[in-house]
Amino acid sequence: MWKEFRDFISRGNLVEIAVAFIMGAAFGTLVKSFVYDLIMPLVGKAVGDVDFSNLYINLSGTPYASAQAAREAGAAAIYYGAFINALINFLLVAFVMFLLVKGVNRLRRPPEAPAPTTKECPYCKLQIPMAATRCPHCTAELG
């Protein structure tokens, strides 16, 4: 049983999945920082000095200085600014993944087509073996 487990763990596919998972987590952290630290301040500035992370609808009736203060107090609120940030984060990750997959697909060679084994008879237009010198359908000689 130990040998089977060791074989399972050392399979190439499992190792590739583990590497992809770790790279995905690191990539997610990078994109999150890109969105929150670079993109969202620019978008907020463009729409009139708005910090999206502080946008929320307070349902508790108690006023709070910021969305973070409301979260810490456990107040009932709709944090739609956090949703906007998450949506932009998702769209950027999806777009970058699209570009990555598109680039990888461009680098891959198309599979080579197998050599043809038949040809078309120039007279009757039916398929015949490549080595045929006479068409078995119309009996024409194929020089």
Distance CA 89, CA 51 (A): 15
List, as one string, the DSSP characters of 27-63.
Answer: HHHHHHHIIIIIIHHHHHHHTTS--GGG--EE-SSS-
Task: Please list the pLDDT of the chain residue by residue as tens digits (143 residues).
Answer: 888 877 777 766 777 788 888 988 888 888 888 877 888 788 878 878 777 888 899 998 889 988 889 989 988 999 998 898 888 878 887 887 888 888 888 888 787 888 889 999 999 999 999 898 999 989 888 87
Distance CA 140, CA 104 (A): 49
Domain 2-108, architecture per CATH: Orthogonal Bundle (1.10)
Q: What integer pLDDT is reported at residue 12 of this predicted model?
A: 64
Q: What integer pLDDT is reported at residue 93 of this predicted model?
A: 78
The answer to whether the CB of 122 falls within 8 A of the CB of 138 is no
Domain assignments of the chain as residue spans, ordered by start: 2-108, 114-143
The answer to whether the CB of 85 falls within 8 A of the CB of 34 is no
